[in-house]
Each structure stands twice: as C-alpha cells, then as structure tokens.
C-alpha cells in the first residue's frame, strides 16, 4: 500500500502538467506551420536560380547566394518602391489613427441624437468588400486628378470603421469619473480627449497602428489600379514586376520579398509592448 501510494503521489504532478505540456507541443507545431513559408522564402532567396525547383526539393542549395539580395535591390528601382511604401504606410497610419480616435471618442463619450444609429450604419460599411468600391473610387480619383499620386494611395482608405470600432470599445472601458474630475478642474473636451483619455488608449492605438501599417504596406489591388507610373509603385507592385515576359526571377523575387517584410517586423517590434499591454488589459471591460 505504501509503495502504491508513493507511486500515485509521484504520478499526480505529471498528470497535472500534461495539459500544459500538450499545450506547449501544440503551440510549437502551430508556430512551425506558420513559419514554414517564411523559412522556405528565405531559403529560396539564398539558392542559385537553377536550384529553385530542384527535384527533390532541398531546403539549402549547393551554395549560399547572398548576392541575390543585391541583385534584387538593383534589378528594379526597389529602393524607390520601399520609399513609396514607407511614405504611404506611415502617413496612412497616422491619418487612420487620428480619424479613428476622434470618431471613437465622439461615438463613445459624447451624447448626441442618432449616435447609435449612425454608428451602426458606419459599422455596416465593414460588410462592403473592397472590390465593390475600387471602380467608383478610381473614377473619383481620376476626376480629382489624383491618379499616380500619394493622395490616391492614402486618402480613400484613411477612414477606418474597424479602427473606430476598436478604439470605441476601448474608450467604453475607461471610467467616466476621470472625465468628471477633469471637468471639475475646468478642463474642456479637447483637454480631456488629448491629455487624459488618449494616453490611456495607447495599447489600442498601438494595435491599430500595426494593423493599419501592415494593411497599407501589403495593399496590392488598389495601387495596381490607381498607379501606372513605376516611380509611384509600392512594394507589392514592385514584387509583381519580377514576374513578367522576360522570365520569372524566383530567387530574386524571394530575396525582394524577404527585404520587404523588414519594415513590418520593425513596426511590430517597436510597438510590441503596446500590443502586450492591449492583451493584458483586455479583461477590463465593464469596470
């Protein structure tokens, strides 16, 4: 009996840790599945062009071709594509964050007639696919003379219903006592919004900034329609230029794609603490 009891006590901690162990294994497998395309992209970028479609496939080529990155950079004006992407994504992110924060404050903290109905109507625009909007939007850009311009790449998508919804939900979690105390001290709406509420929404603002930056950076359909000048092309259009009538430069395409993800990775790393804070504060709703 004592031996059985001892074995039972030894097995109990192991059984208690099984869910955690299984969770870690599942997370590792999921991470590997997600990272596999990126690993293969970098691997292809470092292969000689003759071994890209080798049979059987090999993760590492016969030689490491670091020169593919330099060739991809100079094969097309890729520096210009990166600059255009940074300008469009950076300015677009700032405009989206500013407009979404203002609209979210109005929809969550101000009381005015028809507020909830207009918000539902505004939220309903999320159900309209982008493909339905591109034709009338392009006609508007052409009448405004904005074709082949930064305005056409930024302004049409600068008013985000998703961003407004995200920030509105975060504003609703903030206690109204903060506003009441500020009003007693003589603060106006702008002071309350800019100096009290907005700093508290930094995690949500960081999350929205990351989503918006990546969305602008990876946008392909709209730039394809509104840009015909190579000097105004963004990174996705530049990547598409590696595939053409002169042949498909797969190794250089993968090298350029590897370079193109660097700004998004830097953006996520810079705002990582805000993203983590947003996850940590997600349970404050209703306080």
217-264 confidence digits (pLDDT tens) = 999 999 999 998 889 999 999 888 887 645 677 888 889 999 999 888
Query: Contact 232/148 with Cβ under 8 angstroms?
Result: yes
Closest CA to 60 of 72, 68, 52: 52
Domain parsing of the chain, residue ranges = 2-45, 77-284
pLDDT of residue 281: 53
Instruction: Specify the pLDDT at position 277.
Output: 62
Are the C-beta atoms of residues 193 and 219 closer than 8 Å to each other?
A: no
- Taking the CA of residue 181 as centre, how many other CA atoms within 13 Å lie in the half-sphere pointing to its CB? 6
Q: What is the pTM of this model?
A: 0.82
In this prediction, residue 13 carries a pLDDT of 66
Determine the pLDDT at residue 286.
Answer: 41
Using 70 as the pLDDT threshold, list the residues of the chain that sit under it.
Answer: 1-15, 244-247, 275-287
The domain defined by 77-284 carries CATH number 1.10.600.10:
no
For residue 207, the number of C-alpha atoms closer than 13 Å in the C-beta half-sphere is 20
């Amino acid at each position: 009996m004592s031996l059985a009891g001892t074995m039972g006590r030894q097995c109990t901690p192991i059984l208690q840790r099984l869910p955690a162990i299984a969770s870690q294994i599942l997370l590792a497998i999921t991470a590997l599945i997600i990272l596999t395309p990126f690993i293969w992209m970098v691997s292809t970028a470092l292969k000689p062009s003759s071994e890209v479609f080798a049979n059987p496939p090999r993760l590492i080529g016969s030689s490491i071709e670091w020169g593919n990155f330099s060739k991809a950079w100079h094969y097309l004006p890729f520096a210009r594509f990166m600059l255009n992407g940074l300008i469009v994504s950076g300015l677009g992110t700032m405009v989206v964050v500013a407009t979404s924060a203002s609209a979210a404050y109005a929809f969550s903290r101000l009381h005015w007639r028809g507020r909830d109905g207009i918000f539902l109507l505004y939220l309903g625009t999320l159900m309209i696919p982008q493909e339905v909007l591109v034709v009338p939007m392009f006609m508007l850009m052409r009448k405004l003379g904005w074709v082949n311009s930064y305005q056409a790449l930024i302004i049409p998508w600068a008013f985000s219903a998703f961003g407004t919804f995200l920030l509105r939900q975060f504003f609703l979690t903030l206690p109204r006592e903060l506003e009441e105390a500020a009003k007693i001290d003589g603060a106006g709406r702008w002071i309350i919004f800019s100096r009290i509420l907005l700093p508290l929404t930094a995690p949500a603002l960081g999350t929205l900034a990351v989503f918006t930056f990546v969305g602008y950076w990876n946008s392909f359909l709209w730039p394809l329609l509104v840009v015909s000048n190579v000097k105004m092309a963004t990174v996705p259009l530049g990547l598409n230029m590696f595939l053409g009538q002169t042949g498909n430069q797969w190794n250089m395409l993968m090298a350029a794609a590897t370079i193109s993800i660097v700004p998004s990775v830097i953006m996520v790393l810079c705002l990582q603490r805000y993203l983590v804070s947003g996850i940590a504060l997600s349970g404050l709703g209703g306080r």
